[in-house]
């Protein structure tokens, strides 16, 4: 008689399965970490290689012309605004990366930043350095040790020179422009001597500086004119331009903007129009184009120009919209394309340095409306379309690295600045923590320094400029 044998299962026990799962998880984690490390290293090597190669290209340009390019266009080519244009010396960056180039008179030095958009990793090279990693900004602002500096009466507009060494403020109530030196290391402003210069026609509002830093223009809001100044690039002092210190615009201008090629200046006007002027890049003198203006909506107010110079955007403060114009780079003339509704009264419009995003604050809506911008300049509302700010955002600024956006919120003694991080891929904004920082009474303009390290806001009722470090 055969003995019965109990069959034995050949499957895995629960413990064995758990061990296998844990081992697989560990191996997967190791693989992910290894891949992430390899990808990060590849990104860094690519950035460093790009910068080294582009530095050699710029130094070849210097060898031929005795200067570095004053600026590069969006294709990385020397623009020829001040120094010669030469397509042999166009820099190249990896697809998907962005660059920021800077040089100032006498163009004997340069800095070049390159950022990987996906990872936001940035490296920098200068004419006398190797590529170095740039610690990313958090975007949080802190008041400088000296938090404010006095201006004239009723400060409105604020602009920083391209070399970062000077700042100018329009004082609407006393008809002057305050002139400051700017310490590029500490960010602190200090009055020049003399501290002010008279605006030729009084009631100055908007202000702009030419791309070469040699000229400054001021919109006189109560008279139909723009004051023209030459700028001493060594001292920062302004002098009324000769033979014409003022150009008549025919309408009362509020804000002004200069194209990146320096050939045109545009102004919003009080009589339903945008004024179009040509600019002599050598003498700095402005001349009205023909036609001198283009019809606009009810209350034209803010104006900005895309980095590639192809689009101009102006806000209609009364009609709650932002209007897109195409710009003919040869003639400088504008063509109206379309108006897009915004939320609240739009007193400002800003475009990101990469040209991919447009932001319009609505004072009466307490929001910033967010748009993406395509190659034609057309705007598409993001989702969500808006982000909340403090009360009455009256001006907005984007940092040069594209990572931060700030709005000056005009709310009397409770005024503040809203701080946002910006997704450089989508353009969407996210409130930082803390979300705001106090400023002076009734801010009007907010500006980020050219190196991205400092932020300034004019305070109309306090007669001051607030000064912040950008961390």
Give 155-216 as a DSSP string.
Answer: EEEEEE-TTSSEEEEEETTTTEEEEEEE-TTT--EEEEEEEEEE-TTS-EEEEEE-TTSSEE
Percentage of the chain with pLDDT > 90?
A: 67
pLDDT at 290: 97
Tell me, yes or no, if the two domains 21-133 and 141-470 fold the same way: no
pTM above 0.85, yes or no: no
Comparison of pLDDT for 288 and 99, the residue scoring more: 288
pLDDT score of 39 more than 90: no
Say which DSSP state 135 is in.
P
Provide the β-strand partners of residue 360: 369
Enumerate the domain spans of the chain. Answer: 21-133, 141-470
- Give the SS3 label for residue 19: helix
Say which DSSP state 67 is in.
S
Residues 6+ apart with CB under 8 A from 40: 119, 121
Distance of alpha carbon 177 from alpha carbon 228, whole angstroms: 12
Average pLDDT score over residue span 180-187: 92
Comparison of pLDDT for 308 and 239, the residue scoring more: 239
pLDDT at 101: 84
Question: pLDDT band at residue 401, thresholds of 50, 70 and 90?
Answer: confident
Residue 431 tokens, joined? 């409130």
- CA atoms in the 13 A half-sphere facing the CB of 337: 19
pLDDT tens-digit profile of 62-92?
Answer: 999 999 998 887 788 988 767 899 999 999 9
Distance of alpha carbon 457 from alpha carbon 446, whole angstroms: 4
- CA atoms in the 13 A half-sphere facing the CB of 414: 4
pLDDT at 264: 97
The values of phi and psi at residue 255, to 5°, are -125, 155
Residue 210 tokens, joined? 């030419």
pLDDT score of 339 more than 70: yes
pLDDT score of 433 more than 90: yes
Average pLDDT score over residue span 342-366: 94
pLDDT score of 342 more than 80: yes
pLDDT score of 25 more than 90: no
Residues 6+ apart with CB under 8 A from 287: 247, 277, 278, 279, 280
pLDDT at 162: 85
Average pLDDT score over residue span 108-123: 85
Peptide bond into 202 cis (omega under 30): no
Average pLDDT score over residue span 233-262: 92
- Give the SS3 label for residue 315: strand
Provide the β-strand partners of residue 448: 455
Q: Is 276 within 8 Å of 289 (Cβ atoms)?
A: yes
**Of 161, 170, 150, whose CA–CA distance to 466 is shortest?**
150
Question: pLDDT band at residue 16, thresholds of 50, 70 and 90?
Answer: confident
CA angle, 446 as apex, 440 and 448 as ends, to 5°? Answer: 125
pLDDT at 1: 46
pLDDT at 3: 47
Span of 119-123, 131-135, 364-368, 431-435 with lowest mean pLDDT: 119-123
Beta strands at 176-182 and 189-198: parallel, antiparallel or unpaired? antiparallel
- Give the SS3 label for residue 401: coil
pLDDT at 2: 47
Distance of alpha carbon 151 from alpha carbon 21, whole angstroms: 68
Distance of alpha carbon 199 from alpha carbon 178, whole angstroms: 10
User: How would you class 166 by CB atoms within 10 Å of its CB: exposed for 0-12, middle for 13-18, buried for 19 or more?
Assistant: buried
pLDDT at 160: 96
pLDDT tens-digit profile of 448-461?
Answer: 998 889 999 999 99
Helix (H) or strand (E) holding 338: strand 334-341
C-alpha dihedral, 222 to 313 to 447 to 162, nearest 10°:
-100
**Of 385, 305, 384, whose CA–CA distance to 344 is shortest?**
385
pLDDT score of 96 more than 80: no
Span of 31-35, 273-277, 371-375, 438-442 with lowest mean pLDDT: 31-35
Average pLDDT score over residue span 413-419: 97
- CATH class of this structure's domain 141-470: mainly beta
pLDDT at 35: 57
pLDDT score of 5 more than 50: no
Peptide bond into 384 cis (omega under 30): yes
Question: pLDDT band at residue 378, thresholds of 50, 70 and 90?
Answer: very high
Question: pLDDT band at residue 412, thresholds of 50, 70 and 90?
Answer: very high
C-alpha dihedral, 428 to 35 to 44 to 352, nearest 10°:
-10
pLDDT at 383: 96
Residue 296 tokens, joined? 């606009």
Average pLDDT score over residue span 136-142: 94
C-alpha dist (Å) from residue 211 to 264, 302, 312, 338 = 11, 19, 17, 28
Fold of 21-133: Glycoprotein, Type 4 Pilin (3.30.700)
Q: Is 360 within 8 Å of 369 (Cβ atoms)?
A: yes
pLDDT score of 43 more than 50: yes
Comparison of pLDDT for 308 and 139, the residue scoring more: 139
pLDDT score of 441 more than 60: yes
């Amino acid at each position: 008689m055969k003995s019965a044998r109990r069959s034995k299962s050949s499957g895995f026990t629960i413990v064995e399965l758990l061990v296998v799962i844990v081992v697989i998880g560990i191996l997967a984690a190791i693989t992910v970490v290894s891949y992430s490390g390899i990808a990060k290293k590849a990104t860094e090597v690519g950035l460093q290689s790009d910068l080294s190669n582009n530095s050699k290209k710029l130094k070849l340009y210097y060898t031929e012309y005795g200067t570095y390019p004053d600026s590069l266009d969006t294709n990385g080519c020397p623009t020829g605004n001040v120094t010669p244009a030469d397509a042999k010396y166009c820099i190249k960056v990896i697809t998907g990366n962005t660059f920021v180039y800077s040089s100032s008179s006498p163009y004997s030095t340069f800095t070049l930043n390159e950022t990987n958009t996906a990872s936001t990793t940035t490296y920098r090279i200068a004419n006398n350095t190797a590529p170095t990693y740039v610690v990313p900004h958090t975007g949080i602002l802190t008041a400088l040790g000296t938090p404010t500096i006095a201006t004239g009466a009723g400060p409105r507009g604020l602009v920083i020179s391209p070399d970062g060494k000077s700042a100018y403020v329009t004082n609407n109530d006393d008809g002057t422009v305050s002139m400051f030196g700017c310490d590029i290391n500490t960010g602190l402003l200090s009055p020049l001597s003399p501290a002010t210069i008279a605006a030729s026609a009084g009631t100055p509002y908007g202000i702009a500086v030419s791309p070469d830093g040699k000229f400054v223009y001021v919109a006189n809001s109560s008279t139909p004119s723009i004051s023209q100044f030459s700028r001493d690039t060594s001292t920062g002092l302004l002098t009324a331009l000769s033979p014409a210190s003022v150009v008549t615009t025919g309408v009362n201008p509020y804000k002004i903007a200069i194209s990146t090629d320096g050939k045109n200046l545009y102004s919003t006007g009080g009589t339903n129009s945008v004024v179009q002027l040509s600019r002599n890049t050598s003498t700095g003198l402005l001349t009205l184009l023909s036609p001198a203006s283009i019809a606009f909506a009810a209350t034209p107010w803010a104006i900005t120009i895309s980095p590639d110079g192809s689009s101009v955007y102006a806000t209609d403060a009364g009609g709650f919209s932002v209007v897109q114009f195409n710009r003919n780079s040869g003639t400088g003339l504008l063509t109206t394309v379309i108006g897009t509704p915004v939320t609240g009264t739009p007193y400002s419009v800003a475009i990101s340095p990469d040209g991919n995003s447009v932001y319009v604050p609505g004072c009466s809506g307490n929001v910033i409306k967010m748009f993406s911008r395509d190659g034609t300049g057309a705007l598409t509302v993001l989702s969500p379309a808006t982000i909340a700010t403090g009360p009455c955002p009256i001006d907005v600024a984007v940092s040069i690295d594209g990572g931060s956006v700030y709005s000056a919120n005009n709310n009397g003694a409770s005024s503040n600045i809203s701080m946002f991080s910006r997704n450089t891929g989508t353009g969407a904004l996210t409130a930082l923590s803390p979300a705001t920082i106090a400023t002076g009474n009734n801010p009007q303009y907010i500006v980020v320094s050219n190196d991205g390290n400092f932020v300034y806001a004019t305070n109309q009722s306090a007669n001051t400029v607030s000064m912040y470090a950008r961390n």
